[in-house]
Amino acid sequence: MGLLDGKVVLVTGGGRGIGRDACLIAAREGAKVMVNDLGAGLKGDDAGDESPAQEVARLIKEGGGKALINSESVTNYAACEAMRDECLKEFGGLHAVINPAGILRDGMFHKMSEDDWDSVIDVHLKGSFNVCRATIEHFREQDGGAYVLFSSTSGLIGNIGQTNYGAAKMGIAGLSRIIAMENATKNIRSNVIAPGAWTRMTESVPIRNEEHAKRREMMRQQMGPEKPAALAVALASDAAKDTNGQIFGASGDNISIYSQPRPIETKTKEGGWGVGDIVGELLPALTPKYTPMTLRPPSNPQDGARKEKAG
């Protein structure tokens, strides 16, 4: 008996990287899988290559499972509705959505084009909206469903050269949280993973120095995409029914849970804070509480690899 016996799972970006392994693991756990992959390049261009999705579907079927392929874009809301409808028609249901589909258009903010901004927001943030909005009413009607969405340390912590990607990934964390809050009474869960894994996204990061090159090699050897994919499949299963509205990190052999933004210090002044009071009294008092402008120093080599762009 697998954790997903009798379930139907839609996986976007299912032809490569984390999505590919999520498809294969979900199938091994008993799910019928729709493998959605646009077949595009890393920047979202050259779409139309169905071979990655076809290969994944072939492997699932050879293992005795059931799979459909879909080559539409998550940026198209009608296409996401069609994915839902095809799952219902061909498989008789839909119970979980795993959504790691993504692209990169990196660049310093002062040089970023509007197109590079829009393209990344469309795939990551609008794409997450599309797949969730297209399926949420079905989940509510059947009184159950699970979303596993993908954020990144580039948004949760920050990464130079990725304002578009980081903004989208931080937005996904907010989207997931509110979906979880609004639909918990309907047994619908939504959780987020910020992965660290060796994929074509991480491979595209320019090597800056020798230390960076060593981290990259360690990442390639130790941090396969199957590890965050396994977490995604677990979160999609009914065995995780009590886990909702959370943000997880998955990097190599490590799985983390993230804190979520809450006030850490409040200062009260009778009559309110004037401008002079703020700069002369309030800000100096709060300075020790500031979040540093640098990435967290790694406590172990795999933590260092979390600095890489992933997801």
- Please give the pLDDT value at position 284: 98
SS3 271: coil
- How distant, in Å, are the alpha carbons of 12, 139, 205 from that of 72? 10, 22, 27
Please state which CATH class domain 8-259+298-305 belongs to.
Answer: alpha beta
Domain residue extents for the chain: 8-259+298-305
Q: Which residues are catalytic?
A: 165
Type of residue numbered 183: N
**Pick from 134, 150, 140, 127: which is nearest to 183 by CA?**
140
Which long-range contacts does 143-146 make (Cβ < 8 Å, 24+ apart)? Answer: 143/186, 143/187, 144/95, 144/186, 144/187, 144/188, 145/94, 145/95, 145/96, 145/97, 145/187, 145/188, 145/189, 146/95, 146/96, 146/97, 146/188, 146/189, 146/190, 146/191, 146/235, 146/236, 146/237, 146/240
pLDDT in tens, 262-294: 999 999 999 999 999 999 999 999 999 999 987
- Please give the pLDDT value at position 309: 33
SS3 145: strand
Strands 247-251 and 254-257: antiparallel
pLDDT < 50 regions, the chain: 297-311
SS3 51: helix
- Please give the pLDDT value at position 32: 98
- Please give the pLDDT value at position 44: 56
- Please give the pLDDT value at position 53: 94
